[in-house]
Chains A and B, each alone.
Chain A
Amino acid sequence: MLKSTDHCIIVGAGHAAAQLCASLRQHGWAGRLTFIGDEPVLPYHRPPLSKTYFKPQDDSGQSPELQWIRPEAFYQDHAIERRLGQPVESIDRDAKTVRLGDETLVYDALVLATGSIHRRPPIEGIDHPRVFSLRTAQDADAIRDSLPEAKHAAVIGAGFIGLEVAASLRTLGLGVTVFEMADRVLARVTGEATSGYYEALHRGHGVDLRTSASVSAIRENNGRLSLMTGDNMACEADFVIVGAGAQPNQMLAFDAGLDCDNGILVDEHNRTSDGSVFAIGDCCNQYHPMYGTRLRIESIQNATDQGKALAAVLAGAPTPKIGLPWFWSDQYDVKLQIAGLSTGYDRCIARGEPEPGATFSLWYLKAGRLIAVDAMNDPRSYVIASKLIPKGAEPDPELIADPTQDLKPLLTSPSVAS
């Protein structure tokens, strides 16, 4: 628990850091609070970067601006010090200091909210200046700057970022080719029916979607980029976006000797192997009681919830229980909402027909228990699932599979009482 004379330093300026700042002040802790970000701007909403950020606004034709998580006045009013555009270079845990440039800052509590970094697969030509990643506003601006001249884009990787970008660019009228190594899209995070739904959705919108296709090289020819699969020229594009997954941004912690294993290892209070150092958000790896295993979750919900939970720990307030993971993805006119994590499921039940644009949901069970639901244009199933999963409910599969049946009775049925 922090004293009022303590200095709390947060390394990072994303969703988790912004939430921690807000929640610490909401709990009434008034000590010195500083966050340090390597990007030059205040914490902003990251999800729109792959969704609405490329699309000109309706009336003015102007591009959307970054959406701040909190306005600048919030940080001023609450005496939250900002160090932006200043990467932390190292941590000295014995002296309790962090170093940035020529400066050394002393902390009493240090919070690592360093997020994740994109994977860059070892493809020849991946360092070409028109091969983009998409994690930061700067990345999104670079892509946006190349749009006016572009007719065709290639996307490597059909995870959420890749598919959201493909949908955004297709909606703007660009031709889009998507390459996915696996035999289906979203293979890492969803079951086959959800993958099938999205494959049909994108193909229906004219995306050239190629699964089981590995790009081996990207070569510039007469100003355009040629993407090779094996020895074949697979497509020509004006630019390429790589969405090949992310990994924890844990180098700073690792170099400081903190325990890391697919993320910075933290306990139930987000404490690392050093009692004065904490980690929250995408960069950390924590035991999840609902799933009985350690998890590193890349999501807004997780970043926000861990920011709130750590604030309670540091302010000496009761800590909220670790909540249900949830995710969303907007592509074309389809809203996907995911409740829970489907990893380890042994049965999958489809509710409705997985036709593009239809109301459809996929329910994942493990030993009879509901562990996750993908809901496409089906917020009702999403809401019901997010109430059932934390209770360890074992819903009747026949009821779920029949879309003419109302699911609300599940919320009061005996299977929920467990």
Chain B
Amino acid sequence: MAKITYIQTDGTAVEVEATDGTLMTAAVANQVAGIEGECGGVCSCATCHLHVDPDWAERVGPANDVEEMMLELDDDYSETSRLGCQVPITPELDGLSVRVAESC
């Protein structure tokens, strides 16, 4: 079980408890605004762009190569940008906070 906080683009927070799936599937299941996951989670559409709280960046880890290429030219790219579908939820992520990208 991990508790994840998503900050939506209007500044409101959605707190989610999830045991499996990814940061994208947990967001869609809990109706986090702006996270679409149109491709179903195969790193093809970039509609689940999140900024990881910098304090958590090391624990969440960097984007993989394909993911990085999908993200790097995004208008709202940051050093902690990730695609939610590429981040599996694990107990270690309990307490994580992520911000939904403006471009979503």
Contact = CB atoms under 8 A, between A and B. Distances in A.
Contacts of B42: 47, 51, 328, 330
A254 interface: no
Interface extent on A, as a size class?
20 to 34
Contacts of A384: 73
A335 interface: yes
A300 B38 contact: yes
Most A-side CB within 10 Å, residue of B29, B44, B70, B73: B44
A380 B69 contact: yes
A335 B28 contact: no
A383 to B, nearest CB: 5
A301 B38 contact: yes
Contacts, number: 48
Contacts of B41: 67
**Shortest Cβ-Cβ A-B pairs, 10 listed:** A379-B69, A45-B40, A328-B44, A380-B69, A71-B29, A379-B70, A383-B73, A304-B38, A379-B66, A67-B40
B31 interface: yes
A379 to B, nearest CB: 4
Interface residues of B, number: 18
Interface string B23-67: 000001101010010111111110000000000000000000010
A238 B82 CA distance: 44
Interface of B: 28-29, 31, 33, 36, 38-45, 66, 69-70, 72-73
Chain B: interface secondary structure?
A: loop
Contacts of A26: 33
Interface in A316-369: 326, 328, 330, 335, 337
Contact of B66 (A48, A77, A304, A335): A335
B69 A48 contact: no
Contacts of A151: none
A337 B44 contact: yes
A101 B63 CA distance: 51
Nearest to B21: A67
A370 to B, nearest CB: 16
Contacts of B73: 380, 383-384, 387, 408, 411
